[in-house]
Amino acid sequence: MKKRNRLLAVLVGGVFCVAVMSLYRMLEMMQGAELQHMETPDGQVEDDLSRLQQQIDKLERLLSDNNRLVATLRDKLFHRQASWVKGGAVNVSSDSAPSRADSLPGCRLAEEMKDGADGVQLLDIYDLLTFENPNGGVWKQGFEISYHGDEWAEQPLEVFVVPHSHNDPGWLKTFENYYQDQTKHILNNMLIKLTEDSRRKMIWAEISYFSKWWNDIDEQKREMVKRLVGAGQLELVTGGWVMADEANSHYFALLDQLIEGHQWIQRHLGVKPSSGWAVDPFGHSPSMAYLLKGAGLSNMVIQRVHYAVKKHFAQKQTLEFLWRQNWDSSPRSDIACHMMPFYSYDVPHTCGPNPAVCCQFDFHRLPGGRLFCPWKISPQRITEQNVEERALLLLDQYRQKSRLFRSPVLFVPLGDDFRFVESSEWDAQFGNYQKLFDYFDQHPELHVKARFGTLSDYFEALHRRLNAAGTTLPTLRGDFFTYADRDDHYWSGYFTSRPFYKRLDRTLEATLRATEILFSLTLAEMRRFRGDGRLVSDFPAREHFKRLTAGRRSLALFQHHDAVTGTARDPVVVDYGTRLFHSILNLHKVLQSSAHWLLLLDKSQYHHDQSKPFMQMDDVMSAHDALPRKTPLTLSDEPRSLIIFNPTEQLRSSVISVVIDSPDARVVDAETGRPMAAQISAVWAEPSRASSEHFQLDFVAELPPLSLVVYHVTKASVGSAHRARYIFHRHGNPPAIQSEHFQVSSPEADAPLSLSNKHIQIWSSPETGLLQKLHLQSGLVRQVQVQFLWYGTRTSQEKSGAYLFLPGEEGAQLYSSSEPPLVRVSRGPVFSDITSCFRHFTHTVRLLHLDGHAGRSLEISNMVDIRSEVNRELVMRLVSDVANGNRFYSDLNSFQMQQRRTLGKLPLQANFYPMTSSSFLQDSTSRLSLLSAQSQAVASLRPGELEVVLDRRLQQDDNLGLGQGVTDNKLTASLYHLLLEDRRGGAQEVGGASVQHLSLLAHLTSLSLSHPPICMVAHSDSQVPKLRPFLPLRSSLPCDVHLLNLRTLEDPQEAESPSQEVALLLHRKGFDCSSAPEPSLECTWSAHEEVNLDDLFSPLRFRSVRRSGLTLLREDDEPESARQQQPPRITSLRPMEIGAFRVEID
């Protein structure tokens, strides 16, 4: 213990020395700057003063950071001493790695979660199951169910028949066409038919449709809706904008569409959803369960789960369980979940195990209609003559289904896609079922009570019966990917389908988050500036808020399980793409005018002119299916102003790229005049022909958190700027290079191809330019080869399509081309890279010459074009010597990591999983992480391998209803960062499902990848007024605390207008202990469960802070008594938790 105290004392002393040294260095720099200014003949006093002021601010920031670091260490010391006295370390298991854990307070050690005998881990079930598929009789994928008949004598069977209509917001038709053709008629009839009989019930999920219909109906009808909701006849379930996909969606977008729906419901109906309903997403994620629980829901229903898992759960009577998060050892995150046992959510597969019988009770299929029963036995109208026979036939199905559950309460959905359109269907279903229910009521000897109900009705009765019997539901951890609905039909294709739009989805998400934050800060700053809480009259706050709302709703709509999944028809995809594209353009308007106001030194000069904005985006998209292009800047001796917004909560060094019209330029920080490190590279019009008009300027920008910083770019004297140097190579066929402004050479014979920076060295193949080996500064060396491969599809009838991945027998074939690739190597002071130009893709690996964490990973980008191919899928595979066995990790919705096990007993396509933003392989000494800017399928088919699917082009339908193949491929960009890290003292891979997190370094790298700096350009023609950088935060947030959003809420009094309240959403990331980078990261992290909000956001001030549920519903707010009016506002935020606060920024 003395040794530890001594170590801590040395550490504190070291930090103090570093602090003093850095202050000394700062003063030295200031003096140097002052001397330089004295030499300038016309150095204006005012400029000097403002520079001095800035230096003092910087010094203050540095001091404050040092104070925080010392305070953290002091807290840690007390914390440690207190715990050692009690005889045990805090949050650290002593046997597995005290040294690493001590150096990273707040990190989570890999731990195996152990529950009582009742706890189930899905990974263990996969190990257990044989995945054979014997014929189960009438329930083909199940088993025979038997009962005696007296099981319900004590406790009668209580049946809830729950009418529903599944309305896809786009699939075979666009959202608008479905609404006009079907949805509005369903909702109009719902109003009439539910009002006719108070025993009738209905549930509805998609608020995108419901809100559109609400806008179409008059006040009288709206009152009728409120009465039906109040009476419990109509229940809004989940309450999301859509029924979201759970594989490709990022948790930001999943939560945002939930907030959008819940806020709409609260505003117009004054209620909040209590049950989740997800019957059609193709596999289910615990991230969604976490969000639903955080949004105040207590129960949920899921349907699309692997048939073998359903069968196992049915046999064990565990179809109803408490779904718990992998990383949570408490029941805080538990949500009761009901898994539907059979093949589908339609009527034939929901009344019981025999679809031929259940189909006879779908009265929309009565003879004479458009629909019929494929089992060749039609439904019959219920009459006095047949009611007994029909009722007993149905009851037999109810009883069989009931034997799969632990309680005598039975849930029976009644519906299908776009059901209840015509008034006749309402009459047929409700009329015939009511006769059956009446018969049951008249025959108490049957011991059954059946009625129409909602999800709430069912779950209320279920919990009541369970409590009375003293039964508790088992807990379960894990996820339900990858889904198979029959045979070897694994739905792993949609993890990648339409990758162009999966990338565009993330572009809109990043743009929306950045705009939300900047808009909220602008309104707060305006109110502070005016001093009377009002906004500046010329600023179009209301129009901008409408643009934000439209952006939220476009992103929300695209989270639908046939949108981001890439499983809609071509015209529908164009409709989604157009919505995403227009939203990005509209959000840019909000960004530009917010930044304009914030940057003006003299606010009276602000003038909003939509036709002639003060600044424009540097990246411009010309259409929904085109990649963004950079607008070339015309340079002169007059400075062009570049405005950079850092949308992250971390101070970062970033490389900013712009295209200019001159091979000579210089960049300075507009505020201090300090020149920035820059390099000029060629713009390659073709792989070996450089443009003679345009050049790429890359410079290193130092960007404080959430800041707007201004840089000046001017034309420089010839040859004064660092230009990239190029080496070109093509095996056996040296290329002819056209490039007048750059030094180009050929490689020396047999010279190895290598790039390096301070942190990392890479070796690539001289023939292909593809990566072969990585070497870290620490000494760690790993073979990491990049390969490209093709998958084909089967020769049989059943082939891959939008949903299914059904690869050919031969497996993956190495990519080969008739001619060797052109390899282009560029070297410069800002970055160096190797580009390989193949026929179907251009692949680049780039190293940044930066000191911070951005220099520690390898940037990998691909430009893919497979439009010439037939039934092929292109994958990028990493082959390494990491000894990970059959285990790897992929993320779920970018929220958490999930262990995966590659199983030989499963077909190849079953071992592919969704990857939203990260996956990794690890052994006892190293971890190799692949971080991505878009979602796609990932697999680790052999030890040391990790592969991602880049694009798929498939000529046929896969017989799941879409009716077409996937042939609308585009030129598609994909972006990754590859990170190799040492693991020291980390627990050896433990048995069971160990809970792992990304390292802090990986979290920061992923943050930078998902939220790149946003670059805007001020107009050149006008005299640019004096701009001042906007620096809202004194220092970075702790690097494990992520600002998920700062979302202006709608004014409760004035619709479509911004209120003074903002939703502050913080996510505290769980991070791994075993890889602490050397030298350590330039940020702090949280050592305790509590965070001080006033400290985090200083100097921003909050007038009020109130914790709420994740969707910010009033009734989820903590009570008025708990509201913290005065600082310091301390709140608990445990690792992995998302905290939501309703705040007013002063």
Q: Which residues are identified as catalytic?
A: 280
Residues 6+ apart with CB under 8 A from 769: 729, 753, 821, 823, 824, 825, 834, 835, 836, 843
**3-state SS class at 754:** strand
- How many other β-carbons are positioned within 10 Å of the β-carbon of residue 945? 19
Distance from C-alpha of 3 to C-alpha of 503, rounded to nearest angstrom: 52
For residue 399, the surrounding DSSP H or E stretch is helix 387-402
Residues 6+ apart with CB under 8 A from 691: 682, 683, 684, 685
**Are 899 and 911 spatial neighbours (Cβ–Cβ below 8 Å)?**
no
* Amino acid found at 191: L
**Are 705 and 646 spatial neighbours (Cβ–Cβ below 8 Å)?**
yes
Residues 6+ apart with CB under 8 A from 95: none
Q: Is 1113 exposed, middle or buried (0-12, 13-18, 19+ CB in 10 A)?
A: buried
Distance from C-alpha of 237 to C-alpha of 202, rounded to nearest angstrom: 10
* Amino acid found at 770: L
Distance from C-alpha of 775 to C-alpha of 753, rounded to nearest angstrom: 14
Q: Which two tokens stand for residue 732?
A: 């056996």
Q: Beta partners for 645?
A: 708, 1014
For residue 205, the surrounding DSSP H or E stretch is none
Tell me the CA distances in angstroms from 492 to 538, 593, 739, 988, 1081, one per residue in order: 51, 43, 45, 31, 37
Residues 6+ apart with CB under 8 A from 5: none
* Amino acid found at 76: K
- How many other β-carbons are positioned within 10 Å of the β-carbon of residue 4? 14
CA 557-1006-712 angle, 5° bins: 95
Of 148, 50, 175, whose CA–CA distance to 575 is shortest? 175
Q: Is 607 exposed, middle or buried (0-12, 13-18, 19+ CB in 10 A)?
A: exposed
Distance from C-alpha of 558 to C-alpha of 577, rounded to nearest angstrom: 9
Of 354, 335, 336, 309, whose CA–CA distance to 406 is shortest? 336
Residues 6+ apart with CB under 8 A from 798: 489, 804, 806, 958, 959
Distance from C-alpha of 240 to C-alpha of 236, rounded to nearest angstrom: 9
